[in-house]
Amino acid sequence: MVFTHADFDGHEQVLFIADRASGLRAIIALHDTRLGPAFGGCRMWPYADEGTALADALRLARGMTYKAAICGLPYGGGKTVIIGDPGRKTPALLHALARVVEQLGGRYIIADDVGTSLDDLAVMRAVTRHTAAATTAASAPLAVTAHGVLAAIRAAIAHRLGRPELAGLTIAVQGLGNVGLPLCRALHAAGARLVVCDPLPARTELAQAELGAVVVPPAAIYDQPADLFAPCALGGILDEPTIARLRTGLVCGGANNQLASPADAARLAARGILYVPDYLANAGGVIDFHQEQIDDRPDAVLAAVARIGPLTAELLAEATRSGRTPLEVADRLVAARLAAAGPA
C-alpha cells in the first residue's frame, strides 16, 4: 500500500513508534486539536502491514474529531493503533506507549478500544496522566456506545416512520461485540424482532437463546428485510454492491466509518435509505468521557449520552428541510464549528 501526502492532509501529527525492548510497533494519529485535546482509543490488532494500520489510524482519528464536534464537545480527534496480537500485550509494551503519550504533554488523551481494556489504561497510568477511565464511573463500565446508538435509532424511527416505539419492528444487527450485543438486548427489551450475524458462533448462539434472534450468515445480513439495519462491526461495509442489496429504509449503527467512500451516502439516498451519520450515532464514548469530568454518576453519564437522540432528530429534520443528505448536513456543521475555532 502506497500513501501520498494527500492521505495525511488535515492531520496535525502522525507518529510512528517502535520500541525494541518491549516489541511495541504503533502509530498515533492526531487529526485536529482546535476544539481541544485529541481524544481517542487505542486499538491493538494483528494488521497485515503498516499501511493497513496507518489507514485505520487516520480514518479513526478523523472520526473522533467529527464525533466531538457534532456533539459540541471541547475535544479533537486522535487514535492509536498497535500492530500486534492483543493476547501478547505486556506491561512493558503498554508503558512504552504511555511514555509517548506523556511526551505529547496533554495534546492526546488515550482511551480503550478493540484489543485493549480499562485494565490496560490502568497500567498506562503508572507512566502517563493522560488517559480516560480514571473516574469512579469507569470502574463499572457502562454500555455507553450502545446506549447512544439506541437513542439515535429511536430518533430515526420517529422521523421516518412517525412512531415513538420500537415494538414489532424488525432490526438487522451486524456484529455482536461490545456494542452490538448490548444494543440487541436493549432492542429486544423494547419489543423489536432481531436478525443478527457474527463470525463467532458463541455470540450468535447466545443471541438466539437469550433474545430469540434469527441468525443468518454474515454474508447474508444485507439481504434481510428489516425496518432498520444497524452495522456494529467493521467499517467500510456500505459500498455500491452492498447498498444495492439492502432491504431497509434506515441505516443507523455503532460501527466506525461505515461508508466505503463519501459517494456511498448519495447511493443510499438515491435508494430512499435514510442514513444516520455513524460519527453521531456512536459518539457515546467521547460524551461519556466529558460527562465523567463533570459528574461521573452512571445515571448522569447515561443521561448525557441520551442527548444523541435529540441531536439526531434535529439533524434529520434539517436534512429534510434543506434537501441534503444527513451526512452533508452533519459534515457542514462540523466544518463550521472547526472553522470557528480558528485556522487549522
Residue 73's pLDDT band (cuts 50, 70, 90): very high
| CATH no. of 5-134 | 3.40.50.10860
CATH class belonging to 144-282+309-331: alpha beta
Residue 343's pLDDT band (cuts 50, 70, 90): confident
Residue ranges matching CATH 3.40.50.720 in the chain: 144-282+309-331
Residues in Cβ contact with 212 at an 8 Å cutoff, skipping those fewer than 6 apart = 188, 193, 194
Pairing mode of beta strands 24-32, 76-83: antiparallel
Q: What is the mean pLDDT of the chain?
A: 94
Residue 135 has pLDDT above 90, yes or no: no
Residue 110 has pLDDT above 70, yes or no: yes
Report the 10 Å Cβ neighbour count for 322: 11
**CA-to-CA distance for 97 and 21, rounded, in angstroms?**
12
Please tell me what DSSP assigns to residue 275: E
Question: What are the tens digits of pLDDT across the range 271-285?
Answer: 999 999 999 999 999
Question: What are the tens digits of pLDDT across the range 145-173?
Answer: 999 999 999 999 999 999 989 999 999 99
Q: What pLDDT does 136 receive?
A: 58
Q: Is 276 helix (H, G, I), strand (E, B) or coil?
A: coil
Burial status of residue 53 (CB atoms within 10 A of its CB: 0-12, 13-18, 19 or more) = buried
Question: What are the tens digits of pLDDT across the range 218-265?
Answer: 999 999 999 999 999 989 999 999 999 999 999 999 999 999 998 999
Give the bridge partners for 131, in sequence order.
110
CA distances for 4 relative to 55, 82, 155, 165, angstroms: 12, 22, 40, 48
Q: What pLDDT does 243 receive?
A: 98
Select which of 67, 79, 193, 290 is catalytic: 79
Q: What is the pTM of this model?
A: 0.93
* Residue 67 bears catalytic tag: no
Q: What pLDDT does 133 receive?
A: 81
Residue 7 has pLDDT above 80, yes or no: no
Residue ranges matching CATH 3.40.50.10860 in the chain: 5-134
306-330 mean pLDDT: 97
H-assigned helices in 194-260: 201-211, 240-245
- Residue 199 near residue 218, CB atoms below 8 Å: yes
Q: What pLDDT does 140 receive?
A: 62
Q: Which residues of 17-30 are buried (b: 16+ CB within 10 A; e: fewer)?
A: bebeebebbbbbbb
